[in-house]
Amino acid sequence: MTTIERLSTRLLRVPLTRPWGPSHAAGSSGASAAVDSIGVIATHVLRSDGAEGWGFSWTPQIGAEAVQALLDHDLAPAAIGRPAAPGESWDALWAYLHEAGSGGVTTIALAGLDLALWDAEARARDLPVSHLIGRRRESARAYGSGVNLHYTHDELLAQVQRWIDAGFDAVKIKVGKPDVAEDLDRLTAVRALLGPDRALMVDANQRWTLEQATDAVTALSVVGLDWIEEPLRADDLAGHVELARRIGVPIAVGENLHTAYRFAEFLDAGGAQVVQPNIIRVGGITPFLRIAEIAAQHGAALHPHLLPELSGQLALTLPGDPWTEEVEDAGFGDLGALLDPSPVAIADGRLTETPHTGLGIRFSSGSERD
């Protein structure tokens, strides 16, 4: 049996060229400043047969140091000597870390090991990970996305025009202004620019109460929405179920759900019609594939969240017609964080793979922190 012989990590801070949110310090309300960098914990695994793999954990702005500490202090010692086949040790290691929480930093840390093990297996077979899993298509749809709630009217429309010019046939816009009339004004202008045939999604980032969400979605639905993302606090299952009863727009959740159990609960209860697992936050490829099975069983759409260099590869293995999210100026390749060329390319609104083995995601050391 091939086992895990060593797991090592290094922490990198990758600056964003376009901050996520307005650039101002935290105020008296406790609201945080804009996200201007992301923390990447690059992982390296060595198997007992000599095969190597590279993976990563990731978190915007905060928490990367905690994730690295969990990997180095707890996960690495517990992983040594366990089976190195992708997915075979995931459940035991999740149970081991469970005292620190069923999800959050624990699953984010687990992703760093899980991705490295998938990478090692695919590299040992001289394959891309998508081929190891079973690639279903040559390309996947991509949609333009951005953190743009703070943009002026003109800045927002300029961004949408860039997406149109890039060939995207779907875009996602942030909503949640203090006055829903301003959201409606912005979306009306966006819809006029997009025309009737492009898809328009909106993301409230958990800003609303149930009553606010009911009123806002009812008002905004006149522009034609494909989904409303995270209208309520992510943990409010009962609220999502009730909101789904009240509105006619599909509800999308998932970037802040951390286990397959939570995804199943939302789908079983009818609290979501679209799921968007973040591959890092759920613990890696192993649980992501389980969540994909759950979504398929419920007939729910699944569109991986963020990180197109990773999620785009997995979108090629999914049933249905998944979208992958391209956040403007936020890809690892765009930020100059990768050692090798990006394993994916996005052109004319479609994502394809470029030649690579494994995941094809190794990080340069230019932004490494001691």
pLDDT tens per residue, range 163-217: 999 999 999 999 999 999 999 999 999 999 999 999 999 999 999 999 999 999 9
Q: Cβ(38)–Cβ(61) under 8 Å?
A: yes
- List residues with catalytic annotation: 174, 305
pLDDT of the residue at 26: 43
Please, how many CA atoms are within 13 Å of residue 267, restricted to the half-sphere of its CB? 24
CATH number of 132-353: 3.20.20.120
Residue at 156: amino acid letter: L
Quote the CA–CA distance of 18 and 158 in Å, as a whole number. Answer: 15
pLDDT band at 220 (very low <50, low <70, confident <90, very high): very high
**Mean pLDDT value of segment 98-125:** 97
What is the residue extent of each domain of the chain? 4-127, 132-353
Q: Which CATH superfamily is domain 4-127 in?
A: Enolase-like, N-terminal domain (3.30.390.10)
User: Over the stretch 285-321, which tens digit does the pLDDT of each residue have?
Assistant: 999 999 999 999 999 999 999 999 999 999 999 998 9
On the question of pLDDT at 368 being above 90, the answer is no
pLDDT of residue 76: 98
| Contact partners, residue 320, CB within 8 Å, separation at least 6 | 296, 301, 302
pLDDT in tens, 18-61: 888 776 544 434 445 678 889 999 999 999 999 999 999 999 98
Domains 4-127 and 132-353 share a fold: no
Alpha carbons 329 and 344: distance in angstroms, whole number = 15
**CA–CA distance, 184 with 191 (Å, rounded to integer):** 10
Answer whether 132's CB lies under 8 Å from 113's CB.
Answer: no
